Amino acid sequence: MQKIDVAAYIWPAYTGQELRTRIFWADGIGEWQTVKRQHVKPEHNYVWSRKPLWGYQDEADPEVMEMQIEEAVSHGVNTFIYDWYWYDNRPFLENCLNDGFLKAKNNGKMKFYIMWANHDATYGWDYRTSSLMPETTVWRGAVTEEQFRIIGKRWITQYFTRENYYCIDGKPVVSIYDLENFINGLGGVEKVKENLAWLQEEARAAGLSGVHVQMIKWGELTLNLSGFDGGVRPVTPELAKEIGFDSLTHYQMAHFANIDRDYSEIIPDMEAEWRKVTANYPVPYYPHVSIGWDNNPRYIMFRPGIVKNNTPDQFKIALQKAKAFCEENGISLVTINSWNEWTETSYLEPDDLYGYGYLDAVRDVFAEE
């Protein structure tokens, strides 16, 4: 077994099986519709044309996921973190997890856990309208207490009780992406604490040891300068302690670093962020490594903020530093953005530019002989 678990986030939009995705991607193939376009912005000497070596696969197909699981495990990625959504009082984009990964015959080779991506859904996903109204809300991510308790029961019965669900200290892990939406939807910090206590009791009633609740960390005051989901996020160590989170990690380095420069210049900032969070927060921090950032494929107009020269060799250096950080601090989990965030240009899946380069970097650093 690997000494350090490597968990890659999955953006579950590469399928047409979820009918509500047609709002954003009318062709019925999910966000592959955007990836298939050649994105040329001549006034900025910008060209983006990436092609997946595995083709435009339906990632809600269990046979597709059987192949991807084999590739992931053989390259040292032993855990998937599925972005999980709940909009308009019902789940959204569950197909890749429920019909793809969980129906794959070999899914027992990997662990998985969910990150509740409870940000608002906007037209930023729709290439046709994103440049005109990127922040226009389609569905709200905040939920009421009534909805949260429906969600919590769904997590427990459908996911947490599975043998290959990822646990820390014997407790199934769930990440909360947007703390502000979580607090606002439930009606304040005290209501959040009350509902998390309820979730713990429900888990124990189902025969579990409880739930490990993980906070997705943004900067202490991060401005939305690069187009990623969300806006200003003031999050303090005191608030994390008050709510009672069990650990922290990040989703994207664009949430805390200036990404409009060479990857080699960003690596020290990533490492500094790991150390700062570890020093200032009362719970464990699991280091995060992003492959890159460029979400111009989602927009007609040019979007500033692009990671440059993020080659597999540079990515490997970042992974080596994350491994050393884990060994130094006695922790055993690294999160990576991501398995398949193609339109944010931060993915492990092989393409026609670097082939299997990013996956090979993970294998070289983390996979056991």
Higher pLDDT, residue 221 or 175 = 175
Q: What is the DSSP string of 152-202?
A: HHHHIIIIITSTTB-EETTEEEEEES-HHHHHHHHTSHHHHHHHHHHHHHH
Residue-wise pLDDT for 265-324, tens only, equals 999 999 999 999 999 999 999 999 999 999 999 999 999 999 999 999 999 999 999 999
Confidence bin at 74 (pLDDT 50/70/90):
very high
pLDDT value of residue 237: 82
Predicted confidence (pLDDT) at residue 336 exceeds the cutoff of 60: yes
User: What is the Cα–Cα distance from 112 to 159, expressed in whole angstroms?
Assistant: 9
Which has the closest alpha carbon to 144: 201, 87, 198, 187?
187
Q: What is the pLDDT of residue 44?
A: 94
Question: How many domains is the chain partitioned into structurally?
Answer: 1
Which residues fall within 8 angstroms of residue 133, CB to CB, at 6 or more apart?
123
Confidence of residue 215 (pLDDT cuts 50, 70, 90): very high
Instruction: Note the pLDDT of residue 134.
Output: 66
Average pLDDT on 132-154 reads 92
- Give me the chain's average pLDDT, please: 93
Distance between CA 302 and CA 28 in Å, rounded?
26
- So what's the pLDDT on residue 17? 93
Q: 83-132, pLDDT tens digit by residue?
A: 999 999 999 999 999 999 999 999 999 999 999 999 999 988 988 888 77
Listed range (54-58, 174-178, 225-229) with the worst mean pLDDT: 225-229
CA 217 vs CA 137, 225, 255, 276, 309: distances in Å: 23, 17, 8, 12, 25
User: What is the per-residue pLDDT for 1?
Assistant: 60
Please tell me the predicted confidence (pLDDT) of residue 235. 52
What is the pTM assigned to this prediction? 0.95
CATH number at residue 179: 3.20.20.80
Domain that holds residue 33: 5-366
- What mean pLDDT comes out for the span 345-369? 95
